[in-house]
Structure 1
Amino acid sequence: MQLKTLTFAFSLLAMSANALAVDGLVQQSRQDQKSEKAHQQVRESGFKQTEAQIRAERDTLLAERKKLNEETDRLSDIFGKNEQSLAQLEDELRLESGSLGELFGVVRQTAKDLDAELDTSVTTADRNQHTDVVKKIVDAKALPSLKQLNGLWQGMLEQIQASAELRKVSVPLVNGEGYESEVEAYRLGSIGLIGEQGYLAWHGDRHVATPYLKQPEHAPVSSQIAALSESGVQMAVVDPSRGKMLAQLAHTPSLMDRLAQGGVVGQIILGLLAIGGVIALYRGGKLLVIRQQIQSQLKNPQQPGNNPLGRVLSVYDKEQNRSVEALELRLLETIVDEQQGLERGLSMLKLLAALAPMLGLLGTVTGMIETFQVITQFGNGDPKVMAGGISMALVTTVLGLVSAMPLLLAHNLLSTQADAIRNILEKQGISLVAAEAEKTGSPA
């Protein structure tokens, strides 16, 4: 019985504790709900404020858009009215100007031509009063004024008059070292300037003169022009292209430049030509002297001298007691010895004449190889890149042929002279053998 009572008591205590715990949880839940509700109210108030700001900004932007649309409509109306006014003004201008538009085109084209002439003509060295007016007409966007039109034809008249003048002018000259000095020169119309160095190149854009790199033969100088001007005779050698031919003259290679393009092979060919020339001159002079000695010896055969014919004659007088066969052999031996002396150096001339064109061919092959190497490295787009190898190939070929022809001619002439002297010696030898045979009565 007591046990049941205790069990009941414990049950009551447990139920009381559970009831207390449930009450605590309920109170805590109620507090949490209150806090959450307060937090939600704060967030809702923030959202409402943000929404109010966004609505205000939207209203402001809508008001600005409305103003912009109104301004756009107003400007569109103004633009349309301006277009109508511009079209009316253009029609009025077209009616009032008539053919002035075409006249303006002609005037402007004429001004451009005159301006281009003034940029390059030497007349601007002292006759350039209307240059500014011409340039204004060229740059103008509207019809030229009457003053500008007068300046245009006056400028044309000035250039026409200047083209017929031989006039002394003072121009700034820039020398090869870059120093500028004021010099006196003579202007030959619109053709060119002549100073003490000869012709001067005029640069109208910088208003300075420079000497040409290469002057033509018999080029006039300012002192000669002064003498001509004082004498009243105005004659001088001029460049009708007004400097273009003189400028190209600097690019024309001289003989030494051509020879330098031949390279090492060209120098060897020239060396062979020089050696052959020395041999030809020496042997030619030697044979000429021998020919004169033989002619003198033929006039006095009784006194043999120190010459080929004299040595042949001395063989006949050397031994009296001999047979005709022995005399013939001695004479033949002497003539053969003299022939070797006469033909000395001719074989070398023949060899040099054969080597020269072969070396020219070698230079041709070498130049073409160099050309192909350049093409391999840089391509064939620029002909100037290939000019060096081609020049070497052609120059060496020309040098080989030019060297071979005089050497062959010299060899032929000297061989002819040597053969002529040998024929004289043989003829005299045969006559001596015949004379000896007649003396001894033996058959020759």
Structure 2
Amino acid sequence: MNHWFDTLTLWLESNPHWLGLTLLIMACVECLAIVGLLIPGTVVLFSLGVLAGSGALELWQTLLLGYVGGLLGDLASYGLGRRYHQGIRNLAPLRKHPGWLNGAERYFERYGVASLLVGRFIGPLRPMLPLVAGMLDMPFMRFLLVSMLAAAGWSVAYLLPGWATGAALRLPLPDGFWSEAGAVIGAVALMLVLVIHSSLRELRWATLLAAGLSGALLLALLLSASHLQALDQGLLALVQEQRAPAMDSLALLITGMGDFNTQLAAGVLLTLLLVVARRFQAALYVCSCMLLTALANGALKQLFARARPDVLLQPLDTFSLPSGHSSAAFACFLALGVLAGRGAPARTRLTWLLLASLPALAIALSRVYLGVHWPTDIIAGALLAGMVCALSLAWLQRRAPMQPLSARVWWLILPATLALLGAVSVWALPQAIQQYRY
């Protein structure tokens, strides 16, 4: 397998015009039932992303090809399950490895529609869940809508890191960029490894560890921000190179969901709906996460008084560190991710947090794209929100675990919150277009 992929990579470097088709096919294969279990999809897609970022494909092309390929793989797997139902068990690979199908089937029966969202980011489940959905006659339109949403997050999570790496290798970057990038990436990676390890082992102090590590890394980043100029300037230049009118409109729409007024309205609505549903502990958790994050963010901005990048025609006159949009978005979506994972195994809880982080990450990245924040600003915002969410959870669970929300409560709060975020963002778009001219 390694020799085959090395040969393919060398061939694509000499024939970059075939990279788009190859990326589409490999994204499809990675999500295809049975076949997706046999290839190292994460490594393959990262490598193809690096080649794309080296100049062969633009970012939007890379993400779109990955999205379409992944969606086609889902649809093909669903069609196989719908066509053959239980007869699919007679296929030679599944006769030899029945656990592949049985594990996905148990997961689907336990979590239903949510399994297609969460399982998308769990390697052994990703290619098998659409097959199981077809076997069990999940309505096609429901499957399609969920898969379209899941494939979008999957494409970003699996292809953006590789593309960014390839683009960074291609551009002339400031001296010290790679050492600073290595230090920040290494510190964040170490924090995530320790938090994930402690969570998977179900250690009682895992939540406090997450809060402590987030806080320590946030403090280190705040104190060393002035020494990370090469990283900030290099990444900002890389992102600004991808500016395009169509992408600008999308970025403005996304960034609108992180505006203070939008997040305030979302927080109030979420809290009130949870109170109406008599889930007072969950309401207190959401309120404390969002309110404390906002207060801490405002205080830190005034304390460090960092100037924003000089990209807009009329730069914003507020300070930039930490990013308010980033901290507010991560506080909101991480709180929802924590609530979604209550009562589930550790792996599922972590996957819900990953899934919840994707829309928050999109809002945070839109700030760098629009040129109103340095990359370290949004990292600091995410760390601040993570620290506050973990501390709030540890405090609320000091006597007893927080109880999971029922499906009825989720159908009450989630559509209303997402609709509010979208509606306010669209309503504010014309004003944002004038404000973020560059």
- The structure in which a higher percent of residues are strand is 1
Shorter-chain-normalised TM-score: which range? under 0.3
Q: Which has the larger radius of gyration?
A: 1
Higher relative contact order (CA 8 A, sep 6+): 2
